[in-house]
Amino acid sequence: MGSTLLQLVQQVTNEIGVSQPTFVVTNPNADVIQIYALMNACGYELLRKADWTQLTQPYTFFTNYLTTTGTYSTNSLTISALASTSGLSTQYMLGSGNFPNGTFVTGVNSGAGTCTINNYPTANATNGTIYFQQVQYSYPAGYDSIVPRTQWDKSKHWEMLGPESAQQWEWLLSGYISTGPRVRWRLFQGYFQIWPGFSNNEFLGFEYRSNAWAMSAGGTAQTSFLADTDTCIYKDRLMVNMCKYKYFSAKGLPTQDMYRNYLTELETDIAQDTSGANLSFAPRPGSILIGYDNIPDSGYGPAGS
């Protein structure tokens, strides 16, 4: 972490010829109030300018399920006499059994021991076994966006397939062949949604970009500058140059030089924030399995052949 909010604001005021403040957050001075607001605006906008490495976070979780018993019939969308509704919510679907593919829970009444579903059962049952599987999972705290190609079924050591389109998802819900060994995923209605569901604790995970670009002196991640002692993940010079550019723009002053300095610093910081792979002008496919370099000279058939 770099300079504090107070130090950044002091640097900006010194460079633009405004009186240097001794504190920022509760300062009544109009210029300081504006520069403080512009500092936060810089943080909000820089969040989307690049995939900053310091904002990338891993997230893992186990799938949830509920195996219980209940009573249902082919002419009702209500399942009654549920032996348990522990943890049950509209984020669950029903697994294999007397229910059509893509049957989801639409409501839960734990007090009455009932739930409603979106499809009619295909058979009647009294105290029949029911498999509820959670397929929608909330984003982690501080989630801003997901990192592509990081979604993995860690239990099976397979990459999850996705994000699925609306058309592909409907095929999964309604098609004859919609399940297989691979987990599929999409982002839907504010949830990370998977298909199929599990009646076990499958271990899944992905990486995401956090929106917490600021940090308190005590180490608490934040989405804004809240105190003079707060710091941020961005380089000091980038914050100062961007804030100066925004200040001049807000005042209706010429901004060409300010914008050039800000843009140069932004491009440099983005380039230096991560590394890059070595590229070859004559790439060759690797032979990680059996290839010309490791084919045995003999032993292809039965002994003595």
Question: Could you tell me the mean pLDDT of each successive run of 10 residues in the chain, 305 residues long?
Answer: 93 97 98 98 97 96 98 97 97 92 96 97 96 97 96 97 95 81 94 96 98 97 98 98 98 96 96 84 68 67 61
* Dihedral pair phi/psi, residue 90, rounded to 5°: -75, 5
Residue 164 near residue 184 (C-beta atoms within 8 A) = yes
Please enumerate in sequence order all residues whose Cβ is within 8 A of that of 262, keeping only pairs 6 or more positions apart, or say none: 238, 241, 242, 244, 245
Residue 202 near residue 62 (C-beta atoms within 8 A) = yes
Question: Which ranges of 21-178 would DSSP assign to H, the alpha helix?
Answer: 30-46, 166-174
Q: In terms of Cα–Cα distance, which of 92, 69, 93, 87 is closest to 79?
A: 69
**Cα–Cα distance for residue pair 137/186, rounded to 1 Å:** 11
Q: Would you state the pLDDT for residue 144?
A: 97
**Cα–Cα distance for residue pair 84/76, rounded to 1 Å:** 20
**Cα–Cα distance for residue pair 95/102, rounded to 1 Å:** 9
**Cα–Cα distance for residue pair 34/239, rounded to 1 Å:** 15
Q: In terms of Cα–Cα distance, which of 16, 73, 36 is closest to 214?
A: 36
Q: In terms of Cα–Cα distance, which of 68, 71, 103 is closest to 88?
A: 68
Residue 206 near residue 63 (C-beta atoms within 8 A) = no
* pLDDT tens per residue, range 189-201: 999 999 999 999 9
Beta strand pairing call for 114-117 and 78-79: antiparallel
3-state secondary structure of 31: helix
pTM here is: 0.85
**Cα–Cα distance for residue pair 105/92, rounded to 1 Å:** 6
